[in-house]
Amino acid sequence: MAKIEIIPAIDIIGGKCVRLSQGDYERKTVYNEDPLEVARMFEDAGLGRLHLVDLDGARAKRIINHKVLETIASRTQLVIDFGGGLKSDEDLRIAFNSGAAMVTGGSIAVRDREVFLSWIESYGPEKIILGADVRDGKISIAGWQEESSIELIPFIESYTKEGIRKVISTDISKDGMLQGPSFGLYNEVLKTFPDLYLIASGGIASMEDIYQLADAGVPGVITGKAIYEGKISLQEIEKYNQ
């Protein structure tokens, strides 16, 4: 079986570790007051990566929770990709100075292509991840509060031509619902871009979902709620990674 990189997620609102359902800020569950504690739990289970999302930042359209990033980066060895509200060169500077190894840009890639392209040029495609979050096949932005008219495949293509090699794609309708991921969506993306480092996100409900994505050749997967709700244990992930 092909191996898949399992990346746990921590979403931050008000400095706390939360999860939303389908991106709805009104449907929020607080799982832990201390994101560092959660990050250390992941690290203790042998995980090397972390997907850290500043949900306050996504709403405010600027970086907010960089102190949380700094704390986790300085007190763990986790390789962190950070996203949520990164709109300016200054936001990016703060994120990297606070310890992010990579950043994810979604809304900015839709709204201000020139700025996003300048980030790829300045920092290199290893450090910049394209966020391609979809609802009904169309890209969503601003913490999923706004729809665009842009379709997923052309959107990814427009940036792979510019050097992007890593993409996180979330099917918003699946996110936080624990009903399985969008296998069809990821198959379509990989068929079109076989060399892409595609990270699937949204809907993961069990290790079986992760095995299926691995079998389909998906290189990476983000899971959050399934871990917090006990649908996937850290022991299972540890065993898989060994």
Q: Residue 37: its pLDDT value, please? A: 98
Domain segments of the chain as ranges: 5-241
CA gap 179, 42 in Å, rounded: 23
Neighbours of 46 (CB within 10 A): 13
Q: Which helix (H) or strand (E) holds 21?
A: strand 16-21
**Are residues 216 and 194 in contact, defined by beta-carbon separation less than 8 angstroms?**
no
For residue 176, what pLDDT is reported? 66
Range 149-159 burial, b when 16+ CB lie within 10 A, else e = ebebeebbeeb
Across the chain, which has 242 residues, the per-10-residue mean pLDDT values are: 91 94 86 96 97 93 96 98 95 98 94 96 97 89 71 97 97 80 95 98 95 97 95 97 92
Q: Are 108 and 86 in contact (CB under 8 A)?
A: yes
Give pTM, 2 decimals: 0.94
Q: Can you give the pLDDT at residue 70?
A: 98
Neighbours of 193 (CB within 10 A): 17
β-bridge mates for residue 104, sequence order = 83, 129
> Is the separation of the CB atoms in 99 and 68 below 8 Å?
no
Residue of 56, 81, 133, 209 with catalytic role: 133
- Indicate if 133 belongs to the active site: yes
Within 10 A of 43 (CB to CB), how many other CB atoms are there? 17
pLDDT at 143: 55
Residue whose tokens read 């898989």: 240
pLDDT at 20: 84
Domain 5-241 has CATH 3.40.50.150: no
In the annotation, is 91 catalytic? Answer: no
For the beta carbon of residue 236, count every other beta carbon within 10 angstroms: 16
